[in-house]
Amino acid sequence: MLIDAGDALAKPAGQTSARWRVLAAVEEELSTVATIARALGQARQSVQRVADLLANDGLAEFDDNPDDRRAMLLRLTPRGRTTLRTIQAAQRGWADALGAALGERDLRAASATLARVTDAMSRKIR
C-alpha cells in the first residue's frame, strides 16, 4: 500500500516511487549507486537501472568520483531537484492528512511498534 501511495504521489511529477527514492537519496549529497542501494536495502543493479533512467531524463547526472574511478557519483540536476521538491510537497500534504485522520496518539503508538518490529527483524533475520 505504501508503494502504491508513493507511486500516486510521484505520478503527477512523471515519476515512480522507485525513482523518487533514488532522487531523495542524493538530495543532500552525491553518492554512488552502491551506497544508495545499501541505504535503500535494494540490489545495486536495480538502483543502477533507475539512476540511468534518471540521468537519461535529465533529472540526475553522474560525476567523477575522486575516491574511485569506477564508481561514479550521482547528483541531482536543477530539474531533478525541482521534481523532487514537487513530490515532497505532495507527500507532506498526504502525510498531514493521514496524521490528522489517525491522531497523534495513534501515530506515536504505531511509530513505537514499527521501531520494535524493525529492531526485532534486524536482530533475528540477519
Which CATH number does the domain housing residue 17 bear? 1.10.10.10
Return phi, psi of residue 69, to 5°. -65, -25
Whether residue 118 has pLDDT greater than 80:
yes
The set of residues, in sequence order, having a beta carbon less than 8 Å from that of 66 and lying 6+ positions away, is: none
Number of domain units in the chain: 1
The pLDDT tens digits of the residues spanning 59-75 come to 999 999 999 889 999 99
What pLDDT score does 89 carry?
Answer: 97
Mean of pLDDT values over 117-121 = 90
What pLDDT score does 125 carry?
Answer: 64
**Most distant CA atoms of the chain, gap in Å:** 50
pTM of the model: 0.87
What pLDDT score does 108 carry?
Answer: 93
Q: Domain residues for 66?
A: 2-124
Helix (H, G, I), strand (E, B) or coil at 8: helix
What pLDDT score does 124 carry?
Answer: 74
Residue 1 is inside which H or E element, if any? none
Cα 105 off chain centre by: 27
Q: Give the whole-angstrom CA distance, residue 49 versus residue 59.
A: 14
Whether residue 126 has pLDDT greater than 70:
no
What pLDDT score does 33 carry?
Answer: 97
Mean of pLDDT values over 88-113 = 95
Return phi, psi of residue 75, to 5°. -145, 155
Averaged pLDDT of the chain: 95
Q: 117: which 3 cell numbers?
A: 518490529
